Amino acid sequence: MKWAIIRFPGSNCDEDARFALEKAGLKAEYVWHTETSLKGFDGAFLPGGFSYGDYLRAGALAAKSPVMEEVRRFAHEGRPVIGVCNGFQVLTEAGILPGALLANLNLHFTCKEVGVRVERTDLPFTRLYQKGQVLRLPIAHAEGRYYADAGTLARLEGEGLVVFRYAPLKGEADYNPNGSLHDIAGITNEKGNVLGMMPHPERAVDEVLGGTDGLPLFLGLLEEVTG
């Protein structure tokens, strides 16, 4: 299974993504945002960073890149698509996932480890986790407050589209790092093939990086093909 790691001007987690995918045994190649074809690829990974310097809004300009039409096609065809951090912002700006990511309530760029509870384990991304398991994953963003109108939120909850939710790591009360509605840290689409999340699983795939809680996400993708 070959993954396309989409590079925008300002992507900076592209190499982390490649490290994580390859550590899990998957092939990965970088694809520049002006490309108009993802032929030969099976999945698309939109990495974190500051595409276009986050001008206008985080992810807004990248969402209009030529390659995003192909990412949209992947999403419709049921191929796996992952957007992490800036990648999640790009997916919502492109309308591939619902909602939007607003400025953190504290207005700070927040870089720390947070607790992330796994809400669904029937997806390729989460099949190797336990339901309710709380992962320790890093976050690093200034605009991660998930927002959607009341109707969309009700639909997300009703259809079980919330995949990850912020949760206390050490029993703390203020565990939600950005003010996301319903503590939402990651969501999927109806088909369950597109994942958008603010925490960085690709930065937690080796003890050297400070933890391995992100690794099963990538190993789960491998099973998608071989299993």
Partner 1 sequence: MPKYQATLLIELKEGILDPQGRAVEGVLKDLGHLVESVRVGKVLEVVFQAENLLQAEEKAKTMGKLLANPVMEVFTLEALKELP
Closest separation between CB of residue 217 and partner 1, Å?
26
Interface with partner 1, residue 92, by CB under 8 A: yes
The whole-angstrom separation of Cα 54 and Cα 104 is 14
For the question of residue 200 being annotated catalytic, the response is yes
Q: Which of 13, 85, 119, 143 is catalytic?
A: 85
By CB under 8 A, which span of 80-88, 91-99, 155-163, 197-205 interacts with partner 1? Answer: 91-99
By CB under 8 A, which span of 115-123, 147-155, 189-197, 202-210 interacts with partner 1? Answer: 147-155
Interface with partner 1, residue 147, by CB under 8 A: yes
User: From the list 9, 12, 22, 103, which residue makes contact with partner 1 (rule: CB under 8 A)?
Assistant: 103
Token pair 């639909």 is at which residue? 155
Interface with partner 1, residue 182, by CB under 8 A: no
Closest separation between CB of residue 42 and partner 1, Å?
30
User: From the list 28, 60, 62, 205, which residue makes contact with partner 1 (rule: CB under 8 A)?
Assistant: 60
Closest separation between CB of residue 198 and partner 1, Å?
16
Interface with partner 1, residue 144, by CB under 8 A: no
Q: Which positions are annotated as active-site residues?
A: 85, 200, 202
